[in-house]
Amino acid sequence: MCAASNSGRDGSDVIVDIVDNGEGIASDRKQAVLAGVADRDDRKSIGGLYNVDSRLRHYFGNDHGLEIVSPFQGGRGTFVRLPAEFDDAAF
């Protein structure tokens, strides 16, 4: 498997994308992961993404967090949206 990352600005946000050429992820699995109901006993579980997404949304609001995409040709992309500027005293 090969992975790559990139980042850039989108208005007042920073977008970080991490993509790989693995087997991808089914649509229902993506929803379950981000809802926190993914089967954690599954050895391929990616439930940690739920924790990261929840914390990002807690600190920065629902317009920020993770988005998981699985292109038609396979692989997986995880996009992280963060505000470019924030008050670090809030942490």
Question: Hunting for tokens 């693995």 — which residue is that?
Answer: 22
Angle between helices 27-35 and 48-60 (to 10 degrees): 60
CATH number at 17 reads 3.30.565.10
Domain of 26 in residue numbering reads as: 3-90
Q: Per the structure, how many domains does the chain have?
A: 1
Residue pLDDT, tens place only, 26-71: 888 888 888 888 766 554 556 678 889 999 999 999 999 999 887 7
More confident residue, 14 or 77: 14
pLDDT at 3 over 90: no
SS3 57: helix
